[in-house]
Amino acid sequence: MSPYFTRQKLAADYCDALTGDGLVDASSGLFLAAPRRTGKTTFLRRDLMPEAVLRQWLPVYVDLWESQQTPPTRLVATAVVNALRIEQSRVADELALKSGMSAAAVTLEDFGLENVGAPEGKTLAVALRTLSEVAGKPVMLVVDEAQEVLNSADDLMFSLKSARDTVGVDAHGARRLFIVCTGSHRDKLLHLVLTKKQPFYGSSVQPFPFLGRDYVDWYTGRINQHLAEDNRFEPDAVFDAFKLVGHRPEILKKIISEIALDEGAAHSLGERLARGAIARQDEIWDEYSRAYDNLSRPQQAVLSLLVEGGPQFEPFSEVTITACSRIVGSTLAATHIQKALDALRKKDLVWRSARGEYALDDSSFGDWFKRKSGMKTDASGTTGDMATPGS
């Protein structure tokens, strides 16, 4: 049995979308959102990027979460330049021929790429075009945790759109640059495509599919190989637990590791697995509940409307102020809304972008809130009227 669970078909479908040949056309950019620890980054590294290599593309990966103190454009530029260094070494003779210098003398500095992304340096578009030309193949740029660009005044997304528009196509009409942006917070990622001010306006954010029953069957088979026949897990029980922990492989593995080697519990593995998953879920839910209960009434009201509004939430609109006043039972003003938002940010419940947009800091909090508040949805899944928990 393979040591890794692969999703090759999904990777191929996404690559087809990038070329415009799939059911979904993502040739202008592919945006994927999934909660943290649900397998997104593993998929990017072990499935999507290898699929790109099979198609003779050059994948370049950068995680904006790894170094939040570094400007996003600089992080991407560094990844592109590092890839160029590797390609430079591989095709030194061809690179030297292009520049008219000896192979030994060729450096990135000779192409003005030592300061890519800096005000005095070349643009990302130039660097990406150079990389594609040197490699002799299209580049697939994967920007993980792309929503982090919203935490700074960085113009990365404008740079990427410029690169997409200027790198162009090869002699056969095929694209030379594919852009993939992923994020662990859908509402934040949506801020990159929802407004006309954003360079990728009009693109859609697709939900990245959770690992499902096929993963659970594979994983259960692997762990059962190491257990006695009378001390094995049932796939149905494992799948039920997997759903309870939000389709998060790491949490499932932790729960299973705590009970799998207890030979005296062979008759109750499924029951113990369910209890462990429920306990984990309750632990998280209780933490959210305590945080919410400690909020003032105006803070609860603002938070409820933020969950309801999602990316369309406008904190200082007349509609929002009126709704908050109705929930609280007294007249509020914009200053009260601002004070509540500031308090929610200090409690790490609400996030504010460098451009003044607001969203939940932890999207899972919204899942808890919707469940506890009885938020209604119509047939299309659109959020309807709701009340704050306990009201």
Instruction: Pull the structure tokens for residue 35.
Output: 């909660």
Percent of the residues in the chain that have a pLDDT greater than 70, as a whole number: 85
Report the topology of domain 295-373.
Arc Repressor Mutant, subunit A (1.10.10)
**CATH number assigned to the domain with residue range 8-207, chosen from the 4 options 3.40.50.300, 3.40.50.1820, 2.30.30.240, 3.40.50.2000:** 3.40.50.300
DSSP string, 68-100: TTS-HHHHHHHHHHHHHHHHHHHTHHHHHHHHT
Which of 130-139, 236-245, 365-374 bottoms out in mean pLDDT, i.e. has the lowest? Answer: 365-374
Kindly provide the b/e burial profile for residues 146-156, where b requires at least 16 CB atoms within 10 angstroms of the residue's own CB.
bbbbbbbebbb
- Parallel, antiparallel, or unpaired: how do β-strands 30-33 and 58-63 relate? unpaired
Q: Does the pLDDT value for residue 329 go beyond 90?
A: yes
DSSP string, 319-341: HHHHHHHHHHTS---HHHHHHHH
Name the DSSP letter for residue 389.
T
Average pLDDT over residues 291-320: 95
**Domain residues of the chain, as ranges?**
8-207, 213-291, 295-373
Q: Under a CB-based contact definition with an 8 Å cutoff, are residues 141 and 178 in contact?
A: yes
Q: How confident is the model at residue 363 (pLDDT cuts 50, 70, 90)?
A: confident
Distance (Å, rounded) from C-alpha 153 to C-alpha 143?
Answer: 17
Which of 16-30, 152-166, 314-328 bottoms out in mean pLDDT, i.e. has the lowest? Answer: 152-166
Kindly provide the b/e burial profile for residues 208-217, where b requires at least 16 CB atoms within 10 angstroms of the residue's own CB.
bebbeeebbe
Instruction: Count the Cβ atoms, other than its own, within 10 Å of residue 317.
Output: 13
Ramachandran category for residue 194: left, alpha or beta (phi over 0 → left; psi -120 to 50 → alpha)? alpha
Residue 267's pLDDT is 58
Residue 119's pLDDT is 59
Q: What crossing angle do the helices spanning 156-167 and 72-90 adopt, rounded to 10°?
A: 40
Distance (Å, rounded) from C-alpha 133 to C-alpha 137?
Answer: 7
Alpha-carbon dihedral angle through residues 106, 110, 111, 114, given to the nearest 10 degrees? 110
Q: Does the pLDDT value for residue 47 go beyond 90?
A: yes
Residue 390's pLDDT is 44
- Helix, coil or strand: residue 176: coil
Which of 32-41, 350-359, 382-391 bottoms out in mean pLDDT, i.e. has the lowest? Answer: 382-391
